[in-house]
Amino acid sequence: MWRIKNIVLVFIALWVLLDSSSSSVSASVTYDGKSLIINGQRRILISGSIHYPRSTPEMWPDLIQKAKNGGLDVIQTYVFWSGHEPSPGKYNFEGRYDLVNFLKLIQQAGLYAHLRIGPYVCAEWNFGGFPVWLKYIPGIEFRTDNEPFKDAMQKFTEKIVQLMKSENLFQSQGGPIILSQIENEYGPIEWEIGAPGKAYTKWFSQMALGLNTGVPWVMCKQETAPDPFIDTCNGFYCENFKPNKANKPKMFTENWTGWYTAFGGPVPYRPVEDLAYSVARFIQNNGSFVNYYMYHGGTNFGRTSAGMFIATSYDYDAPLDEYGLIREPKWSHLRNMHKAIKQAEPALISAYPTVSWPGKNLEVHVFQSKTACAAFLANYNPDTSATVTFWNKPYSLPAWSVSILPDCKTEVFNTAKVVSKSGEAKMVPASDVSFSWQSYVEQTVSADDGDTLAMKGLREQINLTRDSSDYLWYLTNVNISPDEGFLKNKQNPQLTIMSAGHAIHVFINGKVSGTVYGSLENTRVTFSDSVNLVAGINKISLLSVTVGLPNVGLHFERNNTGILGPVTLKGLNEGTRDLTQQQWSYKVGLKGESLSLDTVNGASSVEWIEGSLLAQKQPLTWYKATFDEPTGNDPLAFDMKTMGKGEIWVNGQSIGRHWPANIASGNCGDCNYAGIFTDHKCGRYCGESSQRWYHVPRGWLKSTGNLVVVLEEWGGDPTGISLVRRQL
Ligand code: GAL
């Protein structure tokens, strides 16, 4: 009996020892109504979004270090399914998609990570992050209680979680990931579709929990988040947000630091006074986690941008600009605020605020415990400054501002008192680089060409391209009798083409006859113009162009693109001829794309023209040149001011779509930081190109002999292209 008792005791002792030793290496993340608790320590956390494929691995260490120096504790990123699984079961975790390396760099810098797996991400990313092949799984419906979709989502989510676990990247394994996210802003969709939405939420919650990551999960913008998921807030302001349970911390997963640029729109910016005000109000109202979306926005390389008409630059007016340079005064002003919040942290984590109202639009929040005290004094009036007396001391508060007193006595920061230096980065010509361009003009395709696909009627574009290219040729022939009255009276007939998007170049008998394009607000386009037709067969060649696939909205996978008709010809003897139902032929992509003209090998497959014969202002023209890397470390860009629309490649890597000919219109008037901010409130560059400069990552360059290839759809003057350095 005695022996058995002793063996049991020894066993228990060993178990306790083992258990405590394992808990000393394995960390834990929990939460309560106050904050996240990391290894037993409550934390007020400042986070920032950096999306790894929107920069290059060479840029990552510097971006992460600058984020750390700016006072961030956490880096937040989505996971980009379309980049990781470009075709079913073929995974890619290399280069810009080396997620593991990105997370390890975050860990090496001593920061935490928030991994938003989604896998739906929105994010102005093509198809919201979904690979386009997903749409073609039979019977699939996105983001609802649909078996094929759920199977695919589970497979990818598991793949990512397994990868993270195999690299010990969760905090529960000693890694940097303290939080994950499943889905993205599903609340509004669930509300709209009802029962299947609820069933889907239940399913993905259980699926995610079953993955046992050992760290909490969040669902953003989804009040229905079941326990233990934390529902979180996205927006420009979230001070009045309340999680759906009192035991969940109040978290701001997307505080938009600016907004994205659309081709055709101004470049949005958000004054730092207002951004800081939004953060301070959130923290004073018991918020304990704020993420800047974006802290570094970066670039939509290749054809990754979406939401339609989203520019290649995803600068976002973030504290780190597209090129990774510090944006002032934004970066420093926020860093100063983060210091103040850190000083206040002992009080913030040990007490709930008591609130008083010393006057209209004035509010005082005090966090006081036995050991610490911090106060926030706020003036919500957008028009006038105010003086607030707190603990017998007067504090002056500019309009629309919050002061932080980390010890309840000293104002160390006010959101509207910007002391940091400002200064805009400049684009300085890299005078050591010049280009000697060569051109190659593509012939227009016609319905009679051999390698086209003939079908009756008009077809949806993505069903044919599977998004392998922005371009789809719609080709048909129109027979004009010599008796047609218009041939004599010289009244050309009118061709009308209705398209679901996004742009059309119209060629008649091989000659360009016009171009139309939509916008972010209205992606549909109509071409309606008189066209020059001759007696006999006329070749109608319509190049339909997409500018990114949708990324948001109920069942965006059902969205149709391309020339769906009607297509009519008016002004003939018979009146109007409907071409919609006649035979059309199709060809996916441009010839230059199929020849891979963007690569060194491909480029040698055609004859290029140079010197005085260089093609200029001609549509469907490819240009190439070689250049040596400029000295130094300044980030580089192409100034494309004399070009129209197309795509640019450097050494075979696409730096994105260019469209400097799309001129910004919108609101570029005065912009006062005070008062409610909206995405349209503050804009720049109206009347100029929405995007003139295109980032050329240094990581893609060799010291000599770099190949640049430009596809120009519209017609441009390549001799005006220059390479510039971005300098502070
Ligand atoms: C949010 C979304 C983000 C991004 C943002 C706008 O609603 O969650 O992914 O699209 O809007 O930039």
Looking at residue 18, what is its pLDDT?
Answer: 30
The rounded Å distance from CA 230 to ligand 1 centre is 18
The long-range contacts involving 268-271, CB below 8 angstroms and separated by at least 24 positions, are 268/317, 268/679, 268/680, 268/682, 268/683, 268/684, 269/317, 269/671, 269/682, 269/683, 269/684, 270/236, 270/317, 270/677, 270/682, 271/671, 271/673, 271/677, 271/682
Burial class (CB in 10 A: 0-12, 13-18, 19+), 469: middle
Pocket of ligand 1 (CB under 6 A): 121-124, 184-185, 234, 254, 260
Binned at pLDDT 50, 70 and 90, residue 318 comes out as: very high
34 has a pLDDT exceeding 60: yes
Mean pLDDT of 334-357: 98
User: Could you give the residue numbers annotated as active site?
Assistant: 185, 254
- Of 316, 312, 317, the closest CA to residue 327 belongs to 317
How far does the chain reach from its first CA to its final CA, in angstroms?
Answer: 80
**557-569 pLDDT per residue, tens:** 999 999 999 999 9
State whether the Cα torsion 408-411-415-421 is positive or negative.
negative
**214-240 pLDDT per residue, tens:** 999 999 999 999 999 999 999 999 999
The rounded Å distance from CA 123 to ligand 1 centre is 5
Which of 114, 116, 122 is the pocket-test mutation for ligand 1 (most atoms within 8 Å of CB)?
Answer: 122
Atom of ligand 1 nearest to the CA of 260: 12
Looking at residue 490, what is its pLDDT?
Answer: 85
The rounded Å distance from CA 351 to ligand 1 centre is 32
Binned at pLDDT 50, 70 and 90, residue 26 comes out as: low
Which of 124, 259, 556 is the pocket-test mutation for ligand 1 (most atoms within 8 Å of CB)?
Answer: 124
Atom of ligand 1 nearest to the CA of 123: 9
Return the residue whose CA atom lies nearest to atom 9 of ligand 1: 123
Q: What are the residue ranges of helices labelled H in 382-460?
A: none
The rounded Å distance from CA 332 to ligand 1 centre is 25
Which of 185, 218, 254, 304 is the pocket-test mutation for ligand 1 (most atoms within 8 Å of CB)?
Answer: 254
Q: What are the residue ranges of helices labelled H in 210-252?
A: none
Mean pLDDT of 632-661: 98
- Are β-strands 393-397 and 567-572 bridged in parallel, bridged antiparallel, or unpaired? unpaired
Identify the H or E element spanning 511.
Answer: strand 511-517
Return the residue whose CA atom lies nearest to atom 11 of ligand 1: 123
| Amino acid, res. 719 | T
Looking at residue 1, what is its pLDDT?
Answer: 40
Can the peptide bond before residue 643 be classed as cis, meaning omega within 30 degrees of 0?
A: no
Instruction: Kindly give, in sequence order, each residue whose CB lies less than 8 Å from that of residue 306, ignoring residues fewer than 6 positions away.
Output: 124, 125, 126, 127, 128, 548, 549, 550, 551
**582-608 pLDDT per residue, tens:** 999 999 999 999 999 999 999 999 999
Return the residue whose CA atom lies nearest to atom 10 of ligand 1: 123
**142-166 pLDDT per residue, tens:** 999 999 999 999 999 999 999 999 9
Which residues are registered as beta bridge partners of 299? 313
Average pLDDT, the chain: 95
Mean pLDDT of 259-265: 98
Looking at residue 13, what is its pLDDT?
Answer: 37
- Of 523, 558, 529, the closest CA to residue 542 belongs to 529
Looking at residue 9, what is its pLDDT?
Answer: 38
Looking at residue 292, what is its pLDDT?
Answer: 99
Q: If DSSP codes are grouped into helix, strand and coil, which group holds residue 253? A: strand
200 has a pLDDT exceeding 60: yes
Atom of ligand 1 nearest to the CA of 552: 10
Atom of ligand 1 nearest to the CA of 220: 8
Return the residue whose CA atom lies nearest to atom 5 of ligand 1: 123
**66-116 pLDDT per residue, tens:** 999 999 999 999 999 999 999 999 999 999 999 999 999 999 999 999 999
| Amino acid, res. 373 | C
Which of 77, 125, 293 is the pocket-test mutation for ligand 1 (most atoms within 8 Å of CB)?
Answer: 293
Return the residue whose CA atom lies nearest to atom 4 of ligand 1: 123
The rounded Å distance from CA 605 to ligand 1 centre is 42
Q: What is the distance between the alpha carbons of residues 589 and 563, in angstroms, rounded to a whole number? A: 15
Sheet containing 693-696: order of strands: 426-429, 722-727, 636-639, 693-696
295 has a pLDDT exceeding 90: yes
**5-22 pLDDT per residue, tens:** 443 333 333 333 333 333
* Rounded (10°) angle between helices 60-69 and 99-108: 40
Name the pTM for this structure: 0.95
- Give the whole-number percent of the chain exceeding pLDDT 90: 94
Atom of ligand 1 nearest to the CA of 185: 8
Mean pLDDT of 414-433: 92
The rounded Å distance from CA 480 to ligand 1 centre is 51
Say if residues 644 and 353 touch (Cβ distance below 8 Å).
no
C-alpha neighbours within 13 Å on the C-beta side of residue 552: 15
The rounded Å distance from CA 249 to ligand 1 centre is 21
Helices (H) and strands (E) in the chain, counts: 13, 40
Q: What is the distance between the alpha carbons of residues 680 and 669, in angstroms, rounded to a whole number? A: 11
Q: What is the distance between the alpha carbons of residues 259 and 530, in angstroms, rounded to a whole number? A: 40
Atom of ligand 1 nearest to the CA of 307: 10
C-alpha neighbours within 13 Å on the C-beta side of residue 371: 7
Q: What tokens does 121 get?
A: 């991400």
Instruction: Kindly give, in sequence order, each residue whose CB lies less than 8 Å from that of residue 369, ignoring residues fewer than 6 positions away.
Output: 347, 350, 351
The rounded Å distance from CA 271 to ligand 1 centre is 19
